[in-house]
């Protein structure tokens, strides 16, 4: 948090099933001798007013990170929107003075170090209700800034409308976009497959 920015906690969405990676949690795979989650936390923690993990299953597997771990509050693994909703509801219950939450994917080891500030500034500039990240002309809706006050509307969309795609939900609101270059490394490169892990090892030296 800075003098001109409100407190913005962050949630790492680590609850995906990781089918393309085989068994196990994608964020717990290693790049350069450290887990992807270690990389994510190292880049994100200095920017955030507190970190939260959204993950399903036994939370003890993340115990060494010393962060709150919350499971989806909507059953059936309905995707990243459920993780975002979970974070909004957790913040509303535990930090009621907080108005905004940033979400990131737990498999993006090269996140920009100015992510939270840039999303906040993009939202202000466009007088928007939400903001998402983009790079190389591609939007990354999982990585965004979310208004805690919209949690009930999001729950309705997820549970009553069975809406699953983030961009279908964000289309209902004024949406800002903050963009980053992809050179030398796309900051939103994500490790979905074993081949992606190999590529991440190569990119790690460039990412700095």
DSSP 58-99: -GGGGGGG---EE--SSSS---HHHHHHHHHHHHHHH-TT--
pLDDT tens-digit map of 54-101: 999 889 999 999 999 999 999 887 889 999 999 999 999 999 999 999
Residue 18: pLDDT above 50?
A: no
Q: Kindly state the helix (H) or strand (E) to which residue 35 belongs, with its residue range.
A: strand 34-35
Residue 173: pLDDT above 50?
A: yes
The mean per-residue pLDDT over the stretch 181-196 comes to: 91
96-127 core/surface letters (b: 16 or more CB in 10 A; e: else): eebebbbbbbbbbbbbbeebbbbbbbbbeeee
Q: Domain 10-207, what fold?
A: Spore Coat Polysaccharide Biosynthesis Protein SpsA; Chain A (3.90.550)
Tokens of 88: 């909004």
Residue 45: pLDDT above 70?
A: yes
Residue given tokens 């500030």 in the structure block? 117
Distance CA 85, CA 101 (A): 10
**Structure confidence at residue 20 as a pLDDT band (50, 70, 90):** very low
pLDDT score, position 5: 85
CB atoms within 10 A of CB 158: 21
pLDDT score, position 2: 52
Tokens of 7: 């407190």
- Give pTM, 2 decimals: 0.92
pLDDT score, position 17: 46
Residue 22: pLDDT above 50?
A: no
pLDDT tens-digit map of 150-164: 999 999 999 999 999
3-state secondary structure 152-188: HHHHHHHHHCCCCCHHHHHCCCCEEEEEECCCCCCCC
Least trusted range by pLDDT, from 38-42, 84-88, 90-94, 197-201: 197-201
pLDDT score, position 16: 54
């Amino acid at each position: 948090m800075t003098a001109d920015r409100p407190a913005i906690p962050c949630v790492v969405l680590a609850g995906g099933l990781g089918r393309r990676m085989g068994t196990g949690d994608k964020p717990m795979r290693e790049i350069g001798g450290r887990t992807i989650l270690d990389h994510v936390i190292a880049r994100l923690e200095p920017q955030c007013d507190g970190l939260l993990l959204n993950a399903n299953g036994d939370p003890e597997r993340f115990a060494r990170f010393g962060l709150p771990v919350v499971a989806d509050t909507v059953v059936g693994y309905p995707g990243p929107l459920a993780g975002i909703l979970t974070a909004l509801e957790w913040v509303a219950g535990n930090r009621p003075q907080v108005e905004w939450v940033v979400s990131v994917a737990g498999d993006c080891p090269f996140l920009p170090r100015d992510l939270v500030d840039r999303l906040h500034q993009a939202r202000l500039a466009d007088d928007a209700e939400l903001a998402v990240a983009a790079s190389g002309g591609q939007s990354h809706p999982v990585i965004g800034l979310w208004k805690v006050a919209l949690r009930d509307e999001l729950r309705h969309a997820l549970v009553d409308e069975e809406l699953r795609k983030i961009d279908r939900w964000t289309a209902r609101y004024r949406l800002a976009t903050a963009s980053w270059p992809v050179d030398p490394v796309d900051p939103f490169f994500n490790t979905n497959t074993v081949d992606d892990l190999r590529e991440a090892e190569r990119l790690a030296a460039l990412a700095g």
